[in-house]
């Protein structure tokens, strides 16, 4: 039986009806590293209802995704770990193909999606996995897991890595609270709660 799809709680604003603040937000998103073809979907569709917040959030997201010292493969792997822990459908839909393109193995992605320990993951990905999972479970990170990630990323990279995990947790919460899902033709990655 296919997963039940919750209805979005906020309408996606039509571009023709956007006010000045909403148009400014879309202009900021499109003039950044995401490119001119971005449409108001996912978290952007939600943030258009609070465009001043959206300006700050999208700027932080642009930095987290494109401008940190964290290699794209590890950043996208961390985003998938976060998406899986939150069962954030749209976040998974958007980032699983990006993660694969960045070099995360399809088997590793499949294991993450299924909630299994990704045994096929590279050693550095396992360090990221252990860090993220311990942080969510214990709300702290052991010296062992901290040192493993710090050895990979250094001071600035470790700070930015924690920021990436926090930012994508905020995105996941936004998507889940407001029921933002992939397009209707796309299969949901996770079962929806009843």
> 0.85 cut: is pTM over it?
yes
* Token digits of residue 32: 């950044």
The confidence score (pLDDT) of residue 36 equals: 86
| pLDDT tens per residue across span 76-101 | 999 999 999 999 999 999 999 999 99
The confidence score (pLDDT) of residue 38 equals: 84
* Token digits of residue 188: 């949901």
The confidence score (pLDDT) of residue 32 equals: 83
**Regions of the chain short of the pLDDT cut 50:** 1
The confidence score (pLDDT) of residue 1 equals: 46
Nearest C-alpha neighbor of 140 from the set 131, 128, 149? 131
Give CATH for domain 72-177: 1.20.1290.10
Nearest C-alpha neighbor of 145 from the set 157, 156, 158? 158
Domain ranges of the chain: 17-66, 72-177
The confidence score (pLDDT) of residue 119 equals: 94
The confidence score (pLDDT) of residue 4 equals: 64
The confidence score (pLDDT) of residue 34 equals: 85
104 φ/ψ angles, rounded to the nearest 5 degrees: -75, 130
46 φ/ψ angles, rounded to the nearest 5 degrees: -75, -50
The confidence score (pLDDT) of residue 35 equals: 84
The confidence score (pLDDT) of residue 6 equals: 77
């Amino acid at each position: 039986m296919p997963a039940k799809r919750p209805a979005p709680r906020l309408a996606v604003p039509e571009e023709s009806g956007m006010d000045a603040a909403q148009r400014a937000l879309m202009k900021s998103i499109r003039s950044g590293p995401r490119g001119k073809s971005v449409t108001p979907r996912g978290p952007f569709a939600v943030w258009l209802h609070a465009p001043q917040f959206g300006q700050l959030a999208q700027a932080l997201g642009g930095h987290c995704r494109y401008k940190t010292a964290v290699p794209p493969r590890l950043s996208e792997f961390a985003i998938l770990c976060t998406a899986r822990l939150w069962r954030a459908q749209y976040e998974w839909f958007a980032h699983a193909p990006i993660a694969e393109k960045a070099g995360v193995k399809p088997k590793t992605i499949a294991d993450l999606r299924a909630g299994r320990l990704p045994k096929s993951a590279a050693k550095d990905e396992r360090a990221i996995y252990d860090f993220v999972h311990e942080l969510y479970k214990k709300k702290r990170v052991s010296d062992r897991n901290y040192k493993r990630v710090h050895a990979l990323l250094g001071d600035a990279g470790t700070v930015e890595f924690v920021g990436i995990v926090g930012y994508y947790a905020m995105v996941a919460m936004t998507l889940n609270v407001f029921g933002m899902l992939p397009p209707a033709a796309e299969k949901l990655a996770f079962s929806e709660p009843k």
